[in-house]
Amino acid sequence: MDKPHQEFVTVKMLFVTALLFLILGTQAQNCPKLEAAVQNVYVNFLTIYNQNLIWSDSISYMALKELKEPGSVMKDCLPYVEIKGTWTFSKYNIGTMEQKIQQTLAFGGFASKWQLVYNLGNGAKFGCNSVYVEGQTRNTVTVLCLFQNQN
């Protein structure tokens, strides 16, 4: 390959790489935000155990992605601690989504993990999300919270 062609390929590769980083950075900044009421349920519950937690919309988005595509976020090399819980409701339960998430946090395994949340360092970032699955007679809420320890 002659030198001018080689330089063109190098410039083209740099441009493509820069464009890729720009796209990925924009996606991370534009991650969907939870409704304030739902976010408050997570924050209010978890800050009982550690008042120094910091909410992160991007980590909340990662939790949703992991719930929808297991293994897509949680890999051995990522610095997340996860707590996951599931609670099942009667199909005729007319409670709000916020109430169902509160019940899942309270009874779906989160309360037993309080020591883990308590021991996270000051300024640990976290995000939570949930999926709601309707069944024939029962509906299920699964909540996943990811924590990124700052220590």
Q: What is the pLDDT of residues 68-101, one digit of tens each?
A: 998 888 776 567 889 999 999 999 998 999 999 9
**Rounded Cα gap, residues 15 and 46, in angstroms:** 43
pLDDT value at 123 more than 60 = yes
**Is residue 74 located within the same domain as residue 14?**
no
Q: Of 64, 66, 70, 54, whose CA–CA distance to 117 is shortest?
A: 54
**Is residue 4 located within the same domain as residue 75?**
no
Residues 97, 98, 102: CA angle, nearest 5 degrees: 115
* DSSP state, residue 146: E
A 10 A CB-CB count for 11 gives: 10
A 10 A CB-CB count for 39 gives: 18
Per-residue pLDDT, 4: 58
Range of the domain at 100: 34-148
**Is residue 44 located within the same domain as residue 114?**
yes
**Is residue 83 located within the same domain as residue 133?**
yes
C-alpha 106, offset from chain centre:
19
**Is residue 3 located within the same domain as residue 66?**
no
pTM for this structure?
Answer: 0.76
Arithmetic mean of pLDDT, 99-114: 92
**Is residue 43 located within the same domain as residue 111?**
yes
Q: How confident is the model at residue 7 (pLDDT cuts 50, 70, 90)?
A: low
Arithmetic mean of pLDDT, 56-65: 96
pLDDT value at 11 more than 50 = no
pLDDT value at 149 more than 90 = no
In the chain, the number of structural domains is 2
**Rounded Cα gap, residues 120 and 110, in angstroms:** 15
**Is residue 26 located within the same domain as residue 38?**
no
pLDDT value at 63 more than 80 = yes
pLDDT value at 10 more than 60 = no
**Is residue 2 located within the same domain as residue 69?**
no
**Rounded Cα gap, residues 18 and 15, in angstroms:** 5
Radius of gyration in angstroms for the set of CA atoms belonging to the chain, rounded to a whole number:
20
Q: Of 19, 14, 18, whose CA–CA distance to 6 is shortest?
A: 14
